[in-house]
Amino acid sequence: MKQSKNRRRAAAVAVVCLLGLTACSGTSQEKVDDQGPATQAASGTEAAVTTKEVKVITHDSFVVTDELKAAFQAETGYELTLLPASDVGSMVNQLILTKDAPLGDAVVGIDNAFASRALDADTLEAYSSPAWGAEQQRNAADDSGRLTAVDFSDVCVNIDLRAVPAADYPPASFGLDLLADPAFKDQLVVENPATSSPGAAFLLATVAAYGEDGWLDYWQQLVDNGVKVTSDWETAYYSEFSGPSSDGTRALVVSYASSPPSEIEDGHTEPSTAAALGTCYRQVEYAGVLKGAANPEGAQAFIDFLLSDQFQASVPGEMWVFPIKDTAALPDDWAAFAPLTDQPWVVPSAQIAEKLDGWITQWTNLVLK
């Protein structure tokens, strides 16, 4: 969910090893010891240090700086290897397909739209971190302790204010109904909920807003109004959206409430985009220990690290989402330009677990026919 265009595209180029095809290492070092977190052996006057590896499956927007990787290794003795797996829907599908022989030790980035799918498939082990606090309890996916909340954001339609002036359509009151208005024909781009985390969140927002009897009718209106669907957030935001850092022509895109602060153009003091607060769905991201992990202790250490003050402080600047810990500081401009809605759309987790797959099938049959 990071918004820097160059760095996002660099990250996309770096994803050269999708899960299920090959494994890739986040560093150039090899795993040389499987017996403990770290061992040291002396040879003459030189000491050789071997480090046990912890492999973490992530979506392709997850970021850990080199400094934080080094801090994690220094504190725990584990070398951190990240295995990017495209968007969240694809990542969870890979976890399910490989659950009998997991490709990693931990996973981070499962959100509350796809959490039930990973939990129902029994891909995760329970773990309660010593850093677990009220934030985790408040944002728990269920009561099994298999997923630990690490960050959150509101998935909202973002508006290119140069094409849709705030004076005509105030973002604070811009709601879902307006997306079907002929004034915005061929202006909305969304992500496929079968493969994309924000796409699934936006689908759930429409279910929450229009109910099980009305959400399909609403989507028919969006189809009639020229909605465009992409497979992932990156394509929607950077290739189809008309925002300053993008190359597209559509003035409305499903993104995040935290996206606008990245869209302050040179010479300006305010962003050229804004979140439509009447369209927002609250998204929580989780981490967990994979069942059958080769290194469960390393996976647990990684989850502890995600809840550390050092990592939580990095979340807004590196991934453009909100840290889960209430004590973590936010950038100064987020209060003005990345407001969270007081009334996000929500769907109960039990209902998501029971019905999301069916809703996605219905959506696919209607929208992608």
Which ranges of the chain have pLDDT less than 50? 1-50
Q: Where are the domains of the chain?
A: 5-152+283-334, 153-281+343-367
Query: What's the pLDDT at 259?
Result: 94
Query: What's the pLDDT at 332?
Result: 86
Q: Which residues fall within 8 angstroms of residue 305, CB to CB, at 6 or more apart?
A: 72, 75, 76, 311
Query: What's the pLDDT at 51?
Result: 54
Query: What's the pLDDT at 54?
Result: 97
Whole-number Å distance between alpha carbons of 165 and 163:
6
Query: What's the pLDDT at 266?
Result: 84
Whole-number Å distance between alpha carbons of 8 and 243:
15
Query: What's the pLDDT at 11?
Result: 34
What long-range pairs does 137-145 form, CB within 8 A, spacing at least 24? 139/284, 139/324, 141/112, 141/115, 141/116, 141/284, 141/286, 141/349, 142/115, 142/349, 144/119
Whole-number Å distance between alpha carbons of 9 and 304:
29
Whole-number Å distance between alpha carbons of 332 and 239:
29
8-state DSSP, 30: P
Query: What's the pLDDT at 18?
Result: 33
Q: And the tokens for 167?
A: 């004076």
The fold of 153-281+343-367 is: D-Maltodextrin-Binding Protein; domain 2 (3.40.190)
The CATH number of 5-152+283-334 is 3.40.190.10
Query: What's the pLDDT at 50?
Result: 45
Query: What's the pLDDT at 49?
Result: 39
Query: What's the pLDDT at 6?
Result: 35
Query: What's the pLDDT at 100?
Result: 95
